[in-house]
Amino acid sequence: MIDVPVVVDFWAPWCGPCRSMAPEYEKACALIEPRARFTKVDTEANQDIGARHNIRSIPTVAIFKGGKEVSRISGARSASDLASWVQQNL
């Protein structure tokens, strides 16, 4: 089985920067998949997951390899910034 890195966008529906970054995140996904898998976690609906990963501000994007976090960034980013950061950490 090939271990594909997972990129997680931690967000919440009430978060303006999260909503503005959503289309940029989708564009970054399209640029990088299938080299990584992309998902989103609503920290409002899944507070236990946010707490488990020590999410203190949103949006926060984290990369996981083999189930372990290898990098994270916080704050709204453009698709090109997200794609560049993900590629540097793959």
Residues classed as catalytic: 15, 18
Q: Which residues pair with 39 in a beta bridge?
A: 8
* Alpha-carbon distance values, 7 to 45, 76, 86 (Å): 19, 15, 8
